[in-house]
Amino acid sequence: MDTQGQARVNPWPLMAAAAFVLLVTIGMRMSLGLFVQPVVNTTALSVAQFSLVIAVFQLMWGVAQPVTGVLADRFGARRILCGGALLLAAGCFLVPLLPTLWGMLLTIGLLLAFGTGAGGFSIIMGQLAAKLPPQMRGFASGAVNAGGSAGQFLFAPLVQGLLVLPWAGWQGVFYVWGGIALLIVPTAWLLTRGGGFQTASHAAEHDGRGLKAVLSDALRNRSYLLVHAGFFTCGFHIAFLVTHLPTEIAMCGLLPKVASASLAVIGLANIAGCLFSGWCVGRFRSKYVLFGLYASRVLMVAAYLAAPRTDMNFYIFAAALGFTWLATVAPTAALTGKLFGTRYLATLFGLTMLSHQVGGFLGAYVGGRVVTAFGSYGWMWYADMLLAGTAALLNLPIREPRVNK
């Protein structure tokens, strides 16, 4: 029988604070593709070089997930969230001052990556799992992920609106972002206050073992490694699209507003997708939820390739993609929690996010190399379909416990 050895936590302020942090960090992360054309047109950087900057950002954001997860497990989430917010603000303020390849690799590729990474999924999901009872975690994860999707919906038109203003431009966007990043500091207190939810089974789940022993077990666990493999392909898919969809739209002769509107539609549709995913996690096994999400991406890309390149078709494509966009996070976090419990979830889920972002690095960078070399994205779309289909199949052999730990 479960016993409650903790103070009750009101879930709604907790979820609101978590959603706001993701709104800011995911909104920024998912809007970087809108800077490709403005930066290339006003600096000495090429499309391939700025794609490399975004690719390094994606990779370092992934590295930040387990690093900040370990630090949060050791020193507390509040300190890491606040430190990350200050790092993010500093990076944003420095980007316009260092408009070179190496300058942007430092500011965007490292400072923004670790700043947004500190407010990313590993710590946020760890806080939700630690403070909420098991029966609420699926819904809470979906609702909070919807906050991240709302960030993309809000940040894309914000960025595009500032880009066209003569007194702002892409440089002004980063100054605005720096101010927004500082709002995470007071929000971190609301997110991390109060005790955690602990049951008798949770208290005993690691039998006193430390992080090193749990990591050793995890890295030998076949199901955990399959979660990593599937999430790797997810990262490739998302980073390729969020980085290169605006360029693909521009190459079709459509206006820049179509690109920003498409990214906004992705974010809006994913609000519904994340809520639906969270609902599914509470009712079905997470591996089957992931199978459906990944398999649907194959059909979406195939339909896009067969359709004429019109603004309306891009909006339809964006809405379909958006429904699955961040919807994979809740079932992936749930799977990790079911396999190993929640004590070190920030670290263990952070490692899965690292695999996700290794895929993200390849999706962003290889896409830039392909379009530079061949003048179109061509086979990248077919590679995306192949990887999505593979991810769907890799989830089926996972041995998922039926009851949350």
In the prediction, which pLDDT does 178 show? 96
Domain contains 83: yes
Contacts 24+ apart (CB under 8 A), 300-306: 300/324, 301/381, 301/384, 301/385, 301/388, 302/385, 304/381, 305/381
Mean pLDDT of all residues in 234-251: 88
**Does residue 18 have a pLDDT over 80?**
yes
Place of tokens 């800011």: 24
Domain contains 206: no
Mean pLDDT of all residues in 59-81: 87
Helix axes 169-181, 77-94, angle to 10 degrees: 160
> How many domains does one find in the chain?
1
In the prediction, which pLDDT does 69 show? 83
Are residues 273 and 323 in contact, defined by beta-carbon separation less than 8 angstroms? yes
Rounded CA-CA distance 34/36 in Å is 6
Confidence of residue 114 (pLDDT cuts 50, 70, 90): very high
CATH label of the domain that carries residue 316: 1.20.1250.20
Evaluate the CA torsion angle 255, 256, 262, 268 in order and state its sign.
negative
In the prediction, which pLDDT does 223 show? 93
Confidence of residue 397 (pLDDT cuts 50, 70, 90): very high
How many other C-beta atoms can be found within 10 angstroms of the C-beta atom of residue 210? 9
Residue 387 C-alpha from the chain's centroid = 18
336-394 pLDDT, tens digit per residue, is 888 887 677 778 888 888 898 889 889 888 888 888 888 888 889 999 999 999 999 99
Closest Cα to residue 22, out of 171, 149, 157? 149
Q: Using alpha carbons, list the distances in angstroms from residue 405 to 93, 121, 142, 200, 338.
A: 43, 20, 19, 10, 6
Confidence of residue 325 (pLDDT cuts 50, 70, 90): confident
133-148 pLDDT, tens digit per residue, is 777 777 787 788 787 7
Q: Who wins on pLDDT, 70 or 102? A: 102
Closest Cα to residue 115, out of 44, 57, 163, 50? 57
Rounded CA-CA distance 207/240 in Å is 42
**Does residue 110 have a pLDDT over 60?**
yes
Q: Show the 3-state SS of 328-361.
A: CHHHHHHHHHHHHCCCCHHHHHHHHHHHHHHHHH
Rounded CA-CA distance 3/215 in Å is 27
First-to-last CA distance in the chain?
Answer: 13
Are residues 309 and 252 in contact, defined by beta-carbon separation less than 8 angstroms? yes
**Does residue 154 have a pLDDT over 70?**
yes
Domain contains 84: yes
Mean pLDDT of all residues in 269-296: 90
In the prediction, which pLDDT does 196 show? 53
Rounded CA-CA distance 37/251 in Å is 11
**Does residue 159 have a pLDDT over 60?**
yes
Rounded CA-CA distance 8/52 in Å is 46
Confidence of residue 307 (pLDDT cuts 50, 70, 90): very high
- Measured CA angle at 74 (ends 73, 76), to 5 deg: 70
Domain contains 404: no
Let me know if 251 is exposed, middle or buried by CB neighbors in 10 A (0-12, 13-18, 19+): middle
**Does residue 3 have a pLDDT over 60?**
no
Domain contains 240: yes
Domain contains 111: yes
Q: Who wins on pLDDT, 136 or 174? A: 174
Its domain, for residue 18, covers 12-192+213-395
Rounded CA-CA distance 32/39 in Å is 11
In the prediction, which pLDDT does 23 show? 92
Structure tokens at 355: 């695999």
**Does residue 130 have a pLDDT over 80?**
no
pTM of this prediction?
A: 0.74
Rounded CA-CA distance 67/118 in Å is 9
In the prediction, which pLDDT does 5 show? 43
**Does residue 170 have a pLDDT over 60?**
yes
In the prediction, which pLDDT does 357 show? 83
Rg of the chain over CA atoms, in angstroms? 20
In the prediction, which pLDDT does 75 show? 86
Closest Cα to residue 199, out of 76, 337, 349? 337
Domain contains 5: no
Evaluate the CA torsion angle 344, 84, 246, 144 in order and state its sign.
positive
Domain contains 244: yes
Half-sphere exposure (Cβ direction) of 301: Cα atoms closer than 13 Å: 24
202-234 pLDDT, tens digit per residue, is 444 445 567 788 888 888 999 999 999 999 999
In the prediction, which pLDDT does 195 show? 55
In the prediction, which pLDDT does 1 show? 37
Q: What one-character-per-residue DSSP string does 15-75 give? A: HHHHHHHHHHHHHHHTTGGGGHHHHHHHSS--HHHHHHHHHHHHHHHHHHHHHHHHHHHHH
